[in-house]
Amino acid sequence: MFELIRQNKRRSILLALLMLLFMLLIGYIIGSSLALLFYYISEPHAFSTEKMIQTPSQRSAPHYPQNQYSSQPPQTTSLTYEQVQYFTWLYWGPLGAFVAFVVWAIQMLFAYYSGGNMLLSISNAIKIEKGDHPQLYNIVEEMKIASRLPAMPEIYVIDDASINAFATGRSPEHSAVAVTRGLLNHMNRDQIQGVIAHEISHITHRDTLYMTILAVSLGTIILLVVGLREIIGAGMRGSARYSGRGRKDAVGLILFLFVIYIFALLLSLIAPLIAQIIYFACSRQREYLADAGAVVYTRNPEGLASALETIAKHYQRQPATDVNQIIAPLYIVNPLETLNLDTSSIFSTHPPLQRRIQILRDIARTPSLSYEQAWQKAEGKKWKQGISTTPATSPPSSTPSITQSLTSTSTLHEPLQNARITGNAIMKAQNYTFLKCKCGVILKVPPAYKGKVICPRCRTEHTV
Amino acid sequence: MTTGILVAILVFLVLLILFFISTYNRLVRLLNEVKNAWAQIDVQLKRRHDLIPNLVETVKGYMQHERATLENITQARNMAMRPGSVSERAQAEQQLNQALHNFFVVVENYPDLKANQNFLALQEELTSTENRISFARQAYNDTVMNFNNVIQMFPTNVVGAMFGFKEQSFFEVENVGERAVPKVSFQ
């Protein structure tokens, strides 16, 4: 599990770089196609069949394109076809990529320094101290110890009846976790611990920073391609008027613009789509990783599993609606997706809840199972982080329902039987009481529990 | 030709030296993490010792008949706070564990106490402290694992051996009996 988390850190950096490169590529395409457009208007000679012979000295300085609306005859310093190519691909293209990078960097700086606070303030989160909620504070501090965070995260409570939690912060030194009032009301100590451990692993994996980089890249890509589409659209309308003033090559220009416009239109449709698919695939994978991290910190998969189960049951009753899809990856579950318990599409921010619960339960039953192995068992394929764009489908159902009963049946197939033997040994080591009911069911009661237990099969009452 | 070989050797040497420097620094960092994690366990044990007088003070009024249990706790706590060798202290902590465990069994007979807000708050603090101690131990073991991985794996083990880094030992249950599976009989 440790190796898994380490591997993923490397791959995440690679993926973020890939997204960034994709963004720069789009900047490059936009820069060069705009340049091509300007040259087409200002240097029509370069595109005509008869090429002018130029002196090489004119290559030295970049030539700023003429105003596209100017009706002046072409300048005497017009460029050759080769020069246009040269400036387009080696000067204007990289400039476009550079502008894209600057836009990205400005947004990134802003998001890096104020994104977390903004998120906390739009969700009306209130910062708490130890005195306000000692148990929550203790749980967070316990997880801080387990995860060896360098600083205590700030703790926020959101006065909301829904069950959710998120973590934010640009680095492990400046981090915050927020939980809703509903979560505190509906969950016991172990469950809250599981949720907090999940959030703390988002912090130690630097997921906020990572997802911010991806989100900003995604935003910049959308901004760029929409911008391109608008500019070209305006250019087309402009040149339509311009053609009325009697330029002979106006038809060619409009045709040329039309081709670029179609290209921009396609790009503006496809690029955000690809970027989003990468973004959501990353998000889902980071959720699995945070679950794995929670198991490493608490060594108690059951806590998080039952917490997720509580959430699933809660949202089946009252689905939430007011969640932004871009910030949704920060939450422990995406409230918009909680209705799909066992499927997820390529546009899901979170893996299906039932799958997450199943993986955690598998680890709880067989402690030797790593998160990776449990995941492979549940997904039926090899673990690979990153661009696994195939949407998850219903798992081979080894757990028919999310609720697990205390009963044992003798008709289990072998691996499950072995798992039960190991599980029983662990429970015995933890001083669980084993009660044998007359109907054959063995009840396993936690050591701290006192009182009556009702057999789930024959309804007999037992006293512990 | 010879200059080419010379440059290649030089580049190789520089890379080798860089590798040695970075590995050495990494080992120092990891070892410090191990030490820090070990110190954290003591911090949490101290926290438990500080809580106990409060606990005894709060419950004294309710538990007139359980003087022996309370005295046991105080005694075990004072033993654990005394400076001594690691194994002595571990044994004292073990006794304190046992005394606290007995105390919480007895508490079940005092419904008034279980309704007392002060006591509930203290109980939460004690639960949290127990968790903190085990999480601190777990975190210590994680740092030891990280350190030992580097020490034992090739090629970093060469650097480790050169500068005399030693493998660190895991925190394990002192009382081996505690790890054994208890016998459960079904009646």
pLDDT surpassing 70 at residue A60? no
pLDDT (tens digit per residue) in A177-200 = 999 898 999 999 999 999 999 999
Domains with residue ranges and CATH for chain A: 2-117+210-280 (no CATH), 124-206+282-379 (3.30.2010.10), 431-463 (no CATH)
Domain assignment present for residue B185? The answer is: no
pLDDT (tens digit per residue) in B78-102 = 888 887 777 777 788 888 888 888 8
Domain assignment present for residue B107? The answer is: yes
Angle between helices A189-204 and A301-317 (to 10 degrees): 100
Yes or no, beta carbons of B124 and A141 under 8 Å apart: no
- Mean residue pLDDT across chain A: 73
Task: Tell me what ipTM this predicted complex has.
Answer: 0.80
Interior CA angle at A161 toward A155 and A167, to 5°? 30
Entry pTM: 0.71
pLDDT (tens digit per residue) in A418-450 = 556 556 666 665 667 777 777 767 777 776 676
Angle between helices A371-379 and A250-298 (to 10 degrees): 120
Yes or no, beta carbons of A148 and B142 under 8 Å apart: yes
Which range among A129-143, A165-179, A306-320, A362-376 shows the weakest confidence by mean pLDDT? A362-376
Domain assignment present for residue B76? The answer is: yes
Residue-level pLDDT at A62: 45
Domain assignment present for residue B11? The answer is: no
pLDDT surpassing 50 at residue B34? yes
> Confidence band (pLDDT; 50, 70, 90) for A171?
confident
Residues of A in contact with B146 (CB under 8 A): 2
Residues of A in contact with B40 (CB under 8 A): 145
Which range among A377-381, B3-7, B117-121 shows the weakest confidence by mean pLDDT? A377-381
More confident residue, A232 or A298: A298
Domain assignment present for residue B135? The answer is: yes
pLDDT surpassing 80 at residue A58? no
- Mean residue pLDDT across chain B: 83
Q: How many domains does chain B have?
A: 1
* Domain carrying residue B151: 24-169
Parallel/antiparallel/unpaired status of strands A174-180 and A165-171: antiparallel
Q: For chain A, what percent of residues have pLDDT higher than 90? A: 11
Q: Does A297 touch chain B (CB under 8 A)?
A: yes
Domain assignment present for residue B158? The answer is: yes
Q: Does A189 touch chain B (CB under 8 A)?
A: yes
* Minimal-distance CA residue of chain A relative to B125: A138
A24, A40, A41, A89, B25 from A231: Cα distances, Å: 19, 16, 15, 20, 54
Domain assignment present for residue B33? The answer is: yes
Q: Which two tokens stand for residue A190?
A: 């172990």
Residue-level pLDDT at B174: 56
Identify whether A199 is a catalytic site residue: yes
For the segment A10-22, the average pLDDT, to the nearest whole number, is 82
Residue-level pLDDT at A429: 59
Yes or no, beta carbons of A134 and B135 under 8 Å apart: no
Domain assignment present for residue B10? The answer is: no
pLDDT (tens digit per residue) in A138-156 = 999 999 999 988 889 999 9
Residue-level pLDDT at A17: 87
Q: For chain B, what percent of residues have pLDDT higher than 90? A: 18
Domain containing residue B121: CATH number: 1.20.1440.20
Distance of CA A272 to the CA centre of its chain: 14
Among candidate residues A199, A309, A337, A372, the one labeled active-site is: A199
> B76-105 burial by CB neighbour count: b if 16+ within 10 A, else e?
bbebbbeeeeeeebebbbbbbbebbeebee
Q: Which two tokens stand for residue A320?
A: 């939430």
